[in-house]
Amino acid sequence: MSLRDTFRRLIAGPETATVPSLGRNDRCWCGSGRKYKICHQAVDDRRSSTMQSAPHSARRGTAARGY
């Protein structure tokens, strides 16, 4: 790794892995051979909705300060 690559990583931040989007009728990512809509779509939808709502639920538990 060159010095230029090191600085580029420091400035740009960590690289993020790209996840290919699956259609409902594509084969599942787990390798079961079943369609995604039957195998893991419901689980992935619940997981993504939980991840999106997690920061909001953490704020609800804090007491409001009156100053």
Q: For 7-66, write each residue's pLDDT tens digit.
A: 888 887 766 666 667 888 999 988 899 999 999 888 888 888 887 776 554 555 555 565
Torsion of CA 56, 47, 15, 58, to 10 degrees: 20
Beta bridge partners of 28: none
Q: What angle do CA 27, 33, 35 make, to 5 degrees?
A: 40
